[in-house]
A = this chain, B = another copy of it.
Amino acid sequence: MSWKINTVGKKSDIDQIKNPVLIEGLPGIGNVGKIAADFLVDELKAVKVYEIFSYKMPHSVFVNEKNLVELPSLEIYYKKSKKQDILFLVGDIQPIDEESNYEFCDTVLDLFEKHKGKEIITLGGIGLKSVPEVPKVYCTANNLKIIERYKKGSQLNDKIYGVVGPIVGVSGLLVGLSKKRNIEAIAILAETYGHPMYLGIKGAREIVTILNKKLDLNVKIEDLDKEIKEIESEIKKAESMNTKKLQSSLKKIKFKDTNYIG
């Protein structure tokens, strides 16, 4: 297998993982999924338990806020929450090509089955041609039952046919490949502006709100709202600068210790 999972968490943490829900949020359209998942990992103080490594990652490194080099990361965090255990699949990158994407997803699903995982939620964005006022959140899944469960009492819209084209990358494949293993999986996708420089924070906020409610996470959405305000003021300042400065300024925007790919 071209993907290697390294255990970095304490044995005691890992041993108690029980029927977890897996939430995936990797880079993608507007980085919506990544922003939402990173925020949850941070707010819930989830613990890193696994690092995933492969030669099938981008051949570049990031400079973090300590001015140190970091290899591209794909990591799994663990949170024992009130309602149930949660694993978060987060990171800086997507696998480099088609084949390595399939291999990566099957590697993650093997781990998920080892922990007798319950269900999978993948997060992502739907790129619009303009900034949505209040982003709508859609879902699709490999099974009607999981859609019903997540729709119940939430703003999730399941009339997604014709709204999105193919769902590219891990968010789509995880759901598709789960079906072959009889794992229920749902993709939750929020509208965002499709511009490559746009950060889909508002879309991420809508997703967090839904997950917060459905999974009884008890995170403070206000923390995210505060971050959104800070970022917007940061951007407003940056807009009066030239493009180069704007880019640099946007690069400095982070959700805790995660860097965004420019």
Chain A interface size, as a band, is 35 or more
User: Of A9-17, A39-47, A111-119, A157-165, which stretch is located at the interface?
Assistant: A157-165
Which one of A70, A103, A166, A168 has the highest number of Cβ atoms from chain B below 10 Å of its Cβ? A166
Binary contact track A104-133/B, C-beta < 8 Å → 1, others 0: 000000000000000000000000010000
Distance of A110 Cα from B249 Cα, bound (Å):
39
A69–B142 CB distance below 8 A? yes
Also in contact, A163 and B60, with CB within 8 A (given A67-B140, A67-B147, A67-B158): no
User: Of A169-177, A196-204, A211-219, A226-234, which stretch is located at the interface?
Assistant: A169-177
B99–A64 CB distance below 8 A? no
- Which residues on the B side are within 8 Å of A142 (C-beta)? 68-69
Oligomer: number of copies: 4
User: Of A29-37, A50-58, A74-82, A83-91, which stretch is located at the interface?
Assistant: A50-58
A8 within 8 A of B: no
| A128 to B, closest residue via Cβ | B244
Distance of A162 Cα from B65 Cα, bound (Å):
8
A143 within 8 A of B: yes
Also in contact, A98 and B140, with CB within 8 A (given A67-B158, A161-B64, A162-B248): no
Distance of A261 Cα from B165 Cα, bound (Å):
7
A69–B169 CB distance below 8 A? no
- Which residues on the B side are within 8 Å of A102 (C-beta)? 55, 57, 59
| A186 to B, closest residue via Cβ | B69
Q: How many Å from the CB of A207 to the closest CB on chain B?
A: 17
